[in-house]
Chain A
Amino acid sequence: MQISRLRRLARDTPPRGWGIVAASAVRAVLSASAFLAIGAVVDTILSGGDAQPFLLVAGACAIGAAVCAGVESLLPSHQQPVEEQFWRGRLATRMLTTPIDGREEPGDTVSGLTDAVERIAAYRSTFVGRFLGALIVPVAVLAVIAVSHGVFVSAVLAVCIALAPPLLGAAMARVRRPTRAHSAASASLAAEFTETVRALGTIAMLGAGPQRRERFARRAETARVEVMRMLRRNQLVLLATDGFFGLLVTAASGVAAMIGLAAGAFTAGQALALVLLGRLLLEPVDHVGREFYVGMAGQARQDAAHRALSTASSRDLPSPTVSTQASALPTCVRLEQVSIVRGCRATVREVTLDLPSRTITALIGPSGSGKTSLALALAGLLPTASGTITINGTACDASARTAAVAFVPQRTTLFTGTVADNLRLGAPGASDDRLVWALDCVGLTCELSNGGSALNRPLTTDGATISGGQAQRLSIARALVCGSPILVLDEPTSNLDQESAERVLRAVSEVVQISTVLLITHRHDELAWADRIAVMTDGVLSTTTREALA
């Protein structure tokens, strides 16, 4: 273990972690004292004296040691949530404030905020303290031995223990690569099995069941032979550590005790205490060995989190919209010479477009032509590379646009909770009346009431309780509750059947009486609902009429 690594661990140790270290040291001293007292008991009995005082001392030391052990197990449970809240809070804030482009896979983000955060917290709250504590314990025990049995014995045992880390490190380094190969082989086998179960329906329909089963059985057998071959070698490290520590520490303390006793240097009690103390010296191997790789994985996650956080621009969270007015004021939007660059590709080039107040403007074009980019930029969710966007004649930056524009994506997300909870997203203080008004606008009040109040109806993310079209209209209602005067809808009907799609569009045509709407679609039959039509091709815009398209 290099010094720099230790320093790193010390840096990652929170105050409660040092509490664990201190409790470990005190526990080691108290346990060692208890054994010395036991030795004294034996000597007193041999010399025919009254052993009771020493028994009491041993008992007191044991109780003290137990309390220390209790403190060591209590502290991590108090630190763990503190660390989790700290790391998750910062990572979640980053997720909510960084640009939407260049983000990682949603699954990775979720596991980064759950699993990774738990591991980082476990590393910092449990592992570092225990690890440093385990290093302190033998030092404390050796110090006690030096006082009670003399410096020489203590030094001999110290040399044995000091030899351990380099030898152990060398053995671990030799074994690490095969260990990784071993877990890779097991993981790929597990992945194949998972894939087979996941695709079970398709496999059965294609009649590929026997074929897949055979293949899996064959691969499992190959992997087994391979893994066992690797294990035979890997586990030699156990042989090394066990034999080594057993030999050097337990056997050495036993032999030292016998020699000291024969030479008359120790009393029988002292010799016995030395034998028992030998096992206390084994603590680092017993505890740390098991947790080492798990702890180090937490450290790696912490480094990754640090890197992610250091690239984030520190931005404050925007404050939620506070709007109580029933309907927004007439609002017109003008995009002038707007270009948008995503990655290194210009997805929208010098687009000029007017959205007059209380009209529906349809935006059509093939996929990949820049429609969604334009919509996101208008909603303030993407920056513009050049050009200006003005709302009612005032040039607006991204955050001002976010405040004025509500964006309804292709696939609405429903949040676990009631309909009311979902409607209050972005407007936590909205009154029930306002929610009902918004549901009325999109024609959902009756459809969702189903015997009870529509507002209290529970929803789940997978939307199993309401249809896709209803979810889409709920999303529009949510935008209305926020009071955003401009509504941008990104292909809201592409996943819906004809009937549901029509209801959504009818809701849009209601809403346009109080809002300005940009509707992206790739279905020409929906253009009938629009007042104006714009066509996007390869990032360039042209306006047209229904007749020209027909």
Chain B
Amino acid sequence: MITRLLRTAAPSSGWLAASLVFRLAGAACGIGLIALPAFWIMSSDVPVRPGIGTVATVLVALALIKALARYLEQYTGHHAAFDLLKAMRLRLLDALLPQAPGVVTHVGAGRLLQVATRDIDRIEVFFAHTIVPTLAGILVPTGAATAIVMIAGPSALLVASVGFLVGTLVVPLIARRTSSQSARDTSRLRTSLTQHITESVVGLLEIRSLRAEAQRLDTMRTLEGSVAHQLRRAGTAFASRTIAGTLWPAFTILGLLALAASGVSDLPGAVASCAIVWAVVPQLESIQRFTRSLPAAVAAAERYFALLERRPAVEDVESTEAVVPAAAPAVRLEAVSVVFPGGDAPVLDKLDQVFPAGAHTALIGPSGAGKSTIARLLVRELDPEEGRVLLGDVDVRSIPLARLRALVTIVEQKATLLSGSVFENLRLGRPELTQGDAWRALRMAHLDREIRALDEGIDTQIGTDGDTLSGGQRQRLALARALARRPRVLVLDEATSHQDPQTQIAIRDAVADVTECTVIVIAHRSDAISGIDNHVVLSKPQ
């Protein structure tokens, strides 16, 4: 897993390496700024001691180089971060698009979004802001130890090494079990707290109507109390680590001085070593951060890779030899059975059904009877366990996915629109659509007059998920988008069930005028489909 994680960073490894080099250079200058004066002070008797002018020049130069190195380290680090973020996002898109739309239902929109945002960010932070400091946190003490053995001899090296090892290996481990346990518990409790608050906000009317306000606040306080307990536990663990982290450099320095006091090391070397230890301390803090963030990064990477490796629920076909069905084909289901993964009872059980060519057919029945499943079979979001789905005489499995989804279009219960203009939304998946065709589709969806009344007409921005439009307008825009594709089969899957009566009537009228394709209207209530002559009633399989 770790090697795969590392391979993820390959596209930005050059920039990361540059960032590391600059960080090391900066660290070296930082050490020099303290260690050189210390060394010079102690070599007062020796003729090597430089004049004040030289001292000032060297120190100023070191300070400036250190600043420049920090600047370049940050710049290259950000560059690496950005490249990595872009590469990971594109890789995820490339992996998800062939799996969609099935992956959304299977993995869940929420989990998908979590991987796309939080997990990718976490991996990015791990590489761009954790890995380089950690490597520096190992390399700098190693370099410092080498310098110490050269100027102060092996016994000083021993003392300093023990100090560094305690600082890198022992200190981060102090109370680590308590820390990670309380971090897990805190995050779990905070999730419950957020859940509780969300329910209070969503269910506000009921809470107030039933006068349960005090009851809800009490439960919230109980949850807060548990969070408080965990926070205090984590605080105690953190404090003990801080104490240890402050103590080890102090005692390393005192140990080095004790060597000099007992005559084992010579004084200038020992003092310079002390200065080096003192200057190295901040570099080691990054190792603590690394041990903290590694488990989270690995967990995030696991979820990310799992998505990349998922197998699509349906196999695409390359060949195009299948005869593309004639305009407005009949839709036929032949002995179709579908069982959802994890479910024991079949959703559809050896269903035979024909939706006549060019006609409008209503598909009704209670929820759970498999109405939407039929729609999903038509666009091959999933394939049936047994049986065949045919457009005209062609099995949908022999039509390439892109072609199939151009032939069959579904308008869903809740329209998904993208931010951008009305026109951009209509062109989604059909970049070649002209303004004229766009207006024709809007007219067919009985939306043209309202769009014309908007300030910028068809170029009006509709906001995230179309939130500047009313629910009815959103739904009709989705219908217009579907009609603009000139599909051979149009499926309305509960497209009006959450709309007010006026919208329902408007959409019903718009659909009634559609004559150039086979139309299937799915509804759970019979009043949504008045005016349609063909009825197919689906009941729950027993």
Contact A203 B429 (CB under 8 A): yes
A461's nearest neighbour on chain B, judged by CB, is: B199
B415's nearest neighbour on chain A, judged by CB, is: A202
Provided the pairs A106-B201, A416-B199 are in contact, do residues A286 and B239 lie with their beta carbons within 8 angstroms? no
Contact B70 A238 (CB under 8 A): yes
> Is A41 on the interface with B (CB-CB < 8 A)?
yes
Contacts of A389 in B (CB 8 A): none
Contact B37 A220 (CB under 8 A): no
Cα distance, A71 to B224, chains bound together (Å): 24
Contact B67 A51 (CB under 8 A): no
Contact A255 B52 (CB under 8 A): yes
> Is B208 on the interface with A (CB-CB < 8 A)?
yes
> Is A2 on the interface with B (CB-CB < 8 A)?
no
- Closest chain-A Cβ to B196's Cβ sits at a distance in Å of 7
Contacts of B117 in A (CB 8 A): 190, 193-194
Contact A413 B203 (CB under 8 A): yes
Contact A242 B418 (CB under 8 A): no
Contact A425 B215 (CB under 8 A): yes
Cα distance, A114 to B223, chains bound together (Å): 13
Pick from A87-95, A154-162, A168-176 the stretch touching chain B: A87-95
Give the tally of cross-chain contacts (CB within 8 A): 410
Contact B82 A206 (CB under 8 A): no
- Closest chain-A Cβ to B296's Cβ sits at a distance in Å of 18
Contact B247 A63 (CB under 8 A): yes
Cα distance, A82 to B78, chains bound together (Å): 37
Provided the pairs A238-B71, A251-B33, A272-B41 are in contact, do residues A51 and B209 lie with their beta carbons within 8 angstroms? no
Contact B52 A259 (CB under 8 A): yes
Contact B78 A231 (CB under 8 A): yes
Pick from B135-143, B156-164, B494-502 the stretch touching chain A: B494-502
> Is A405 on the interface with B (CB-CB < 8 A)?
yes
- Closest chain-A Cβ to B136's Cβ sits at a distance in Å of 16
Q: B-side binding surface: helix, strand, loop or mixed?
A: helix
> Is A268 on the interface with B (CB-CB < 8 A)?
yes
Pick from B256-264, B334-342, B345-353 the stretch touching chain A: B256-264
Contact B243 A207 (CB under 8 A): no
Contacts of A484 in B (CB 8 A): 210
- Closest chain-A Cβ to B523's Cβ sits at a distance in Å of 9
Kindly identify, within residues 19 to 72 of chain B, every residue whose CB is under 8 Å from any CB belonging to chain A: 33-34, 36-38, 40-42, 44, 52, 55-56, 59-60, 62-64, 66-68, 70-71
B116's nearest neighbour on chain A, judged by CB, is: A197
Contact B525 A498 (CB under 8 A): yes
Contact of A366 among B70, B238, B502 (CB under 8 A): B502
B69's nearest neighbour on chain A, judged by CB, is: A242
- Closest chain-B Cβ to A132's Cβ sits at a distance in Å of 19
- Tier of interface size on chain A: 35 or more
Contact A426 B228 (CB under 8 A): no
Residues 57-86 of chain A, each 1 if its beta carbon lies under 8 Å from chain B, else 0:
011001101110111111011101110110
Cα distance, A46 to B242, chains bound together (Å): 34
Contact of A194 among B116, B410, B429 (CB under 8 A): B116
> Is B532 on the interface with A (CB-CB < 8 A)?
no
> Is B79 on the interface with A (CB-CB < 8 A)?
yes
Kindly identify, within residues 244 to 292 of chain B, every residue whose CB is under 8 Å from any CB belonging to chain A: 244-247, 250-251, 253-254, 257-258, 260-261, 267, 271, 274-275, 278-279, 282
Residues 68-109 of chain B, each 1 if its beta carbon lies under 8 Å from chain A, else 0:
101100110011001100100110111011001101110001
Contact A209 B52 (CB under 8 A): no
- Closest chain-A Cβ to B105's Cβ sits at a distance in Å of 8
- Closest chain-A Cβ to B427's Cβ sits at a distance in Å of 8
- Closest chain-A Cβ to B238's Cβ sits at a distance in Å of 5
Pick the 9 closest A-B CB pairs, nearest first: A77-B235, A426-B210, A413-B203, A81-B228, A206-B429, A201-B101, A204-B100, A243-B67, A62-B250
List 27 interface pairs A-B (beta carbons < 8 Å), by A numbering: A51-B257, A69-B243, A80-B231, A93-B217, A95-B201, A114-B193, A190-B117, A196-B93, A198-B416, A200-B96, A201-B101, A206-B428, A207-B406, A212-B93, A213-B93, A220-B89, A221-B86, A242-B67, A247-B63, A255-B52, A319-B214, A407-B206, A409-B205, A412-B206, A413-B206, A495-B497, A500-B366
**18 more CB-based (< 8 A) A-B contacts, given A205-B100, A272-B275:** A38-B274, A42-B267, A55-B258, A114-B190, A190-B117, A197-B92, A200-B97, A211-B431, A246-B62, A250-B63, A272-B271, A319-B214, A367-B502, A425-B215, A428-B215, A495-B498, A498-B526, A523-B527
